[in-house]
Chains A and B, each alone.
Chain A
Amino acid sequence: MTVLISLLVGIIFGMGLIIAQMTNPSKIIGFLTLGENWDPSLLFVMTSAVFISFFAFNFAKQKTKTLLNLDFEIPKRTEIDLSLLVGAALFGIGWGMVGLCPAPAIVSLAFGNSQTLLFIVSMLSGMYLFKLIKK
């Protein structure tokens, strides 16, 4: 059951990204470009997504088990450390350079652009590099 829900969520989430045009790098770059050409789309997408998720997380807080009687796995870390700040900064630089982040990149693979594939291979290499360094 949980795997079918994961599949369904992947489809819903991916369609949300496409409809919101978050799979289009120029929309992301447009959001990150301040000034008269600023494109606020991403702000509306995030507000809408956060608004709905907020209720789900609030509901989850009052429960001990999920609707499938499983445990909630919600991050408990609260520390603001160098890893968080440097990681987010590096992520932001890469995001600004290309206009893609992990989910939209995976979704865009179907559009058949070879540069998307190059981005995904590089991104997975970056994740692997982190795993190597962490050891």
Chain B
Amino acid sequence: MIIQSLVGGALIGIGISILLLFNGKVLGVSGILGEFLNNPLSKNNWRLFFVTGLLVSPFVYNIFYQFPTIEMTSNNLVIVFGGLLVGFGSRLGSGCTSGHGVCGVARLSVRSLIATTTFILFGVLTVYVMQKVLI
């Protein structure tokens, strides 16, 4: 459903805008998670509250609608390797889908546009290899 995508995307954009215009922060989730490891807890207050918000968001959603269905078809080995790559890669590349893909693209950062193109390209290649070559 296109409308769902557009409404969901709008909420994502509104969240990014509020965090920027009030707190002055760029919403990048890999950075927020990764910086927990680099800072004393006192400097992580806003990160802690943001992540708490993410964790409770499904329950707020659940007041109005039922939990969505999720289809995860990977086996556990793929999940472990995929998770390691997502964690390591997003830190090495200084961003993920939120920081580079939405915020970086929205502020027309060439660095983020290149990162976003790169991870989409490698995502496409990976899915192709997994579906066509390995199976």
The residues of A with any CB-CB pair to B shorter than 8 Å are 1-26, 28-29, 32-34, 41-42, 44-57, 59-60, 66-68, 70-75, 77-80, 83-103, 105-111, 113, 115-116, 118-131
CB contact between A10 and one of B54, B82, B109, B130 (< 8 Å): that residue? B54
Interface of A: prevailing SS: helix
Chain B residue contacts of A108, Cβ below 8 A: 58, 70
CA distance A98 to B86 in the complex (A): 10
CB–CB A93/B24 < 8 A: no
CB–CB B4/A98 < 8 A: no
Sorting the interface of chain B by its residue count into under 10, 10 to 19, 20 to 34 or 35 or more gives: 35 or more
CB–CB A125/B119 < 8 A: no
Chain A residue contacts of B30, Cβ below 8 A: 101-102, 127
Closest to A74 in B: B26
What does the 1/0 interface line of B68-88 toward A look like (CB < 8 Å)? Answer: 111111101011111111111
Taking A6-B23, A16-B10, A93-B125 as given, write out 12 further A-B residue pairs in contact, using a Cβ cutoff of 8 Å, ordered by the A residue number.
A13-B15, A15-B60, A18-B58, A19-B4, A26-B70, A48-B7, A48-B13, A50-B13, A68-B24, A88-B114, A92-B121, A95-B97
CA distance A67 to B29 in the complex (A): 22
CB distance from B54 to the nearest CB of A (A): 4
With A9-B53, A60-B21 already in contact, the answer to whether A94 and B16 are too (CB < 8 A) is no
CB–CB B53/A57 < 8 A: no
Any chain A CB within 8 A of the CB of B38? yes
CB contact between B34 and one of A21, A26, A127 (< 8 Å): that residue? A127
CB–CB B84/A5 < 8 A: no
CB contact between A90 and one of B53, B88, B121 (< 8 Å): that residue? B88
What does the 1/0 interface line of B11-48 toward A look like (CB < 8 Å)? Answer: 11111111111111111011001100110000001111
CB–CB B86/A95 < 8 A: yes
CA distance A79 to B93 in the complex (A): 12
Of B45, B53, B100, B109, most buried by chain A (CB within 10 Å of CB) is B53
